[in-house]
Structure 1
C-alpha cells in the first residue's frame, strides 16, 4: 500500500508561460503529472516560489546556518558533525538525520569529493531522495466512484482541506460528492455545507450524533447510482490514543467495503506541520490501525517545524500528496520533493 522509496536523480517541474489577450489572466502550465496548475494569480507565481514563501519560517531555522557551514570549509569530521546538529535542530529528527549523515559520508568518500560545495549539492540530492515518495492518484472508469477517506486529529485542518480538494478535482472536470462523517460537531457539517455550495457539489449529511458509517454508506451508494467520479468523506477529529475512536474509523471502512471491496481507494491523513515531531506518533497510530495511503501536510506557512516531513516520509514511506497553506480554496499544492528541498536551501 505504501510506496517504495525511489532512488536516483530527480526531475524538475517544467513551466511554460502563455501570453493571452489583454485583461486575461496569465496561466502557467505544470507538466509534471500532466496537471494544470489552477492555483495561479494574475502575477503567475510559479510553484517553486510558492514553496519558498511557504517555508519561510522553516528556512529561517535552517538556511543561513547550513550555508555558513559550507562556506570555504574543508570536508572533515567537524563539518559532518556541524551538519548533523543543524539537521536535528531543524526538526528533521535524530533517526533520519543519522541516515542522511551516513549516506553523506559514504557517498562523499565513494565520489572522492574534494570541496564543501560538492558536498553541499550531495546533501541536497540525498534529502530529495528521502522525500521522493510521491505518486499520482490514478483514476479509472472501473473505480467510479473513487473513494477518499479523510482522517486526522482535531484541528489538523481536515474540513478545510476537503473544500480545497473538492475545488481541485472540479477544476479537473471530475464530479464530486461529499459525505459529512463528522457527526460530533455541528460546525463541521456547516463548514462542509459552505464548501459544497461554493463548489456546486452535493453533500450527504444527517443530524448530529448520527452513525457516520451509515452516512458514508449512503453517500457511496448515491454516488454509485449517479455515476459520480469522486466521493470525499470527512470524519471526526480524534486523538490517536483513543482506541474506541479508531474503531469507529475501522467500522466506516468495513461498511464501505459492502459496496466495493476495494473501498476506500485512498485513506488520506491530514497532519498539522506545527505539531513538529509529535506528528510521528499520529502517523504511527493511524497507519497501524487503518493503513494510511497518503498524507496532506497543512499550515506549513505558519511553522518553523517543516523539517518533520523528512522524518515522516523516511520512517513510514508514506507519500505526501499535497501541502496546504492559508484558508483560500486555491491554497493546496501538489507536493514536490525537488521544490521543497530547493526552497529550504534557497
Structure 2
C-alpha cells in the first residue's frame, strides 16, 4: 500500500517538473522556415496575383507620350512675275476673242462705207472703251485704211494692233516700286471697294514679289471684315511672308503703322497694307483711308497706292476710281476679273479718266493669275492669231 502511494507521488512530481520546463520563459515553439518568394514580380503584382485577378499593389506610371508636332506648312515657290501675262494669254484670249474677231471682220470687208465705220465705232464702245476714245480710234483707222487702200487681213490686223496699243499707252511707266530704299522697305497700300478682290490681290501680289526674290510683310489693316485678316494670313503662310494683324475692330491706322514698323525692324523688301473695302459714297470712311496713309508716312514713304477695280463694273467702277484718286493719290490700277465678262477697252478708259497706268491685271481665280500688265501681249491676246 505504501508502495503504491510512493509511485503515485513520483508520477505527480514528474508531471509538475515537465510542465515547468515546457512553460519556462525564453523558449518558443519552433516555426517552420519561411519559404523564399519565387513568384516573379510584374509591375508590382505577382504572377499569382494576376492569375487570381487581384489588382496590383504598385502600378508603374504609363510612359508620357510626346505631343504631336504641329503640321508643317510647305512654303510654295511662286513663278517669277516676268512673262506672266504671256503665259496667261490663252485664258485672256478666250474671254476677249469675240471683240477682236468682230473688229477684224468689219475691217476686212470689201466695202467700208459709213455704216461699216459706225458699226466699228459701236463695237469699240461696247468693249467699254468709252465713246470719246472709240470715236478717236475709228477716225484714225478710217484715215489709215483709206490712205493705204489695204484689205489684207494681216495688214488690217497690224493697223488695228498698232492703234489699240497706242491708245493703251506703251510708254507709260507700269513698274512697281517694290525695292527697299534708304534703309526702309517699299510700302504699298492697296485700296478699293468691297467685292473687287482687294485682299486676294494683296495675297497674289505677295506671291508675285516672292517669286521675284523679294521678302514681303503683309499688314491686315482691314479690321472691319472678320475674314480679311485670316484670309491674308493664309496667303502669307503659303509663301512665307510675315503678317501683322490685330483684333477685329482695331484701329486700321494702328495696324498699318505697326506693320510698317515691323517691316523696318525686320528689314523686309516690301510691306503690303490691305485696307478696308470702303463705299466711295461714305465720306467718313474715305477720310479714314486718308488717315491710314498719313499715319504710315510718319515713318516711311508710301511708294505705291494701288486701286483695285472690278473690270466688269464699267462706268460705276470709273466713278469709284475718281473718288479714291482724290483721297489717296492713286499711283496705279489693278484690274481684276478681266477674264470674265469684262471688255478689254476698260483698260483704255481707266487710264484716260485717272491719268495713271494699269499696272496689274487679274485673269482668274488661281493664285498665280495676277500678272504685270503688258500692252502688246494684251492686245495680241484680244486680237488672236
User: Higher relative contact order by CA 8 Å / sep ≥ 6: 1 or 2?
Assistant: 1
Matched, 1:193 2:233: yes
Normalising by structure 1, we get a TM-score of 0.80
Q: C-alpha displacement at 1:157, in angstroms?
A: 0.5
Match of 1:249 among 289, 293, 296: 289
Match of 2:181 in 1: 141
Matched pairs, number: 301
Separation in structure 2 between the aligned mates of residue 244 and residue 63 of structure 1, nearest angstrom: 43
Q: What CA distance in whole angstroms lies between the structure 2 residues aligned with 1:91 and 1:166?
A: 30
User: How far apart are 1:143 and its partner, in Å?
Assistant: 6.4
Indicate if the aligned counterparts of 1:134 and 1:336 stay in contact, CA closer than 8 A.
no
Mind listing any 5+ residue stretches in structure 2 that lack a counterpart? 1-78
Q: CA deviation at 1:123?
A: 2.6
Comparing 148-157 with 314-323, which one deviates more in the overlay?
314-323
Q: Cα RMSD between the aligned structures?
A: 2.2
CA contact (8 A) 1:147 1:264 kept: yes
Q: Choose which of 132, 149, 172 in structure 2 pairs with 1:114.
A: 149
SS state at 1:264 partner: coil
CA distance in 1, matches of 2:125, 2:221: 38
Query: Residue 367 of structure 2 corresponds to which residue in structure 1?
Result: 329
Between the aligned partners of 1:134 and 1:337, the Cα distance in structure 2 is: 11
Using the alignment, how far apart are the partners of 1:64 and 1:136 within structure 2? Answer: 31
Superimposed CA distance per residue, residues 274-316 of structure 1 (whole angstroms, 9 cap, x where no aligned partner):
2123221121111122111011111112214332122112332
After superposing the two structures, state which structure 1 stretch, 207-216 or 317-326, moved more: 317-326
* SS class of match (2:165): helix
Deviation at 1:104, TM superposition (A): 3.0
Kindly indicate whether the alpha-carbon contact (under 8 Å) linking 1:276 and 1:306 is maintained by their aligned counterparts in 2: no
Larger Rg: 2
Cross-structure match for 1:300: 338
Name the residue aligned to 2:56. none
Unaligned runs of 5+ in 1: 1-28, 40-46
Is 1:286 matched up with 2:324? yes
1:155 aligns with 2:190: no
Distance 2:332 2:183 in 1: 18
Q: In 2, Cα distance between the equivalents of 1:51 and 1:314? A: 24
Confirm or deny that 1:231 pairs with 2:271: yes
TM-score by length of 2: 0.73
Name 1:130's counterpart in structure 2: 167
Cα distance in 2, alignment partners of residues 134 and 278 from structure 1: 26
Displacement after TM superposition at 1:71 (Å):
2.3
Secondary structure at the counterpart of residue 188 of structure 1: helix
Once the two structures are TM-superposed, the CA of residue 99 in structure 1 deviates from its matched residue by 2.3
Question: Quick one: distance in 2 between partners of 1:287 and 1:265?
Answer: 15
1:135–1:192 Cα change, 3 Å: same
